[in-house]
A = this chain, B = another copy of it.
């Protein structure tokens, strides 16, 4: 049953340390992970999954299912911001609606990684090339978001001046995408041999770094929770319901193109997760009219914990039902 899945997810060190981090804020402990450490850990995690993905990609080769998966990934990254924009527009102005839509169209690498370690724990296999899907899904939503802003604010606000080169720069060359894709390509280039020498660093430490990182994410998410008061009920419900809807669509597509169960879970998690790093930074720069605390807090304080704790086992439960 679903609850046993949730339980076995929660009784994982990374998820428990996430709770511990949240608890630290609630009881006002002064625990903190000092400033550049979370950044270092996130660079490490991107490097490690990128590199591993590349090595596995070159081992498995590129066949039809890889191509289909990539197309599905790009498709979802483009349509999610579109339809969420119109939902958000009901209550919010164009700027904020577009920024939040872009946030939910993009992905959260840590949610993906946590789902990966959940699969590993349950011995459900998944393909290395899913990391390529992750990489492909980071950027398109940024572009879609900006097109929406341009379309719907053209007349009223004529002095908006962002240069498309700068936008493309932000979308495709921000540090997350760059390091992930770079590591993936290096994994492809060095293959099995490079893997052998880097394994103690990039594989053995992985789980521990993830655990520590989620401890910090717990601190960060809990600190953002008080922002939710200003955010309102509409956005909070949005931040829980839309991931489920997106995961549902992802699930249908995954079934349609015949993904394995493991890959399907990762794909659903990509669809369901929201970016709280790359997209917010891009939005600050290109849509400064939007309120960062809206798009950051919903993604970080609601959607991220929801996915980590309930979403992942829930989506797997759905997959188990459908794939049987």
Q: Nearest CB to that of A23 among chain B residues?
A: B182
A201/B190 contact (C-beta < 8 A), A35-B36, A182-B20, A182-B23 known = no
Q: Among the listed B16, B173, B178, B201, which residue makes an inter-chain contact with A207, where contact means beta carbons less than 8 Å apart?
A: B201
Complex contacts, A173 vs chain B, CB 8 Å: 27-30
A16/B190 contact (C-beta < 8 A), A29-B178, A39-B34 known = yes
CA distance A169 to B32 in the complex (A): 16
Complex contacts, A182 vs chain B, CB 8 Å: 17, 20, 23-24
- CB-CB contacts below 8 Å: A195-216 with B: 197-198, 200-202, 204-205, 207-209, 211-212
A126 CB–B CB distance under 8 Å: no
Complex contacts, A24 vs chain B, CB 8 Å: 175, 178, 182
A322 CB–B CB distance under 8 Å: no
Main secondary structure of the interface of A (DSSP, over half): helix
CA distance A190 to B13 in the complex (A): 7
Complex contacts, A43 vs chain B, CB 8 Å: 33, 212
Q: Among the listed B36, B198, B207, which residue makes an inter-chain contact with A37, where contact means beta carbons less than 8 Å apart?
A: B36
A60 CB–B CB distance under 8 Å: no
Sorting the interface of chain A by its residue count into under 10, 10 to 19, 20 to 34 or 35 or more gives: 35 or more
Complex contacts, A169 vs chain B, CB 8 Å: 28
Say yes or no: A29 contacts B186, CB within 8 Å: no
Complex contacts, A200 vs chain B, CB 8 Å: 200, 204-205, 207-208
- Please, could you name 5 A-B residue pairs with CB atoms under 8 Å apart, sorted by A? A24-B175, A29-B175, A36-B36, A37-B40, A198-B211
Chain A: residues with CB nearer than 8 A to chain B?
11-13, 16-17, 20, 23-24, 27-37, 39-40, 43-44, 47, 51, 117, 121, 169, 173-175, 178-179, 182-183, 186, 189-190, 194, 197-198, 200-202, 204-205, 207-209, 211-212
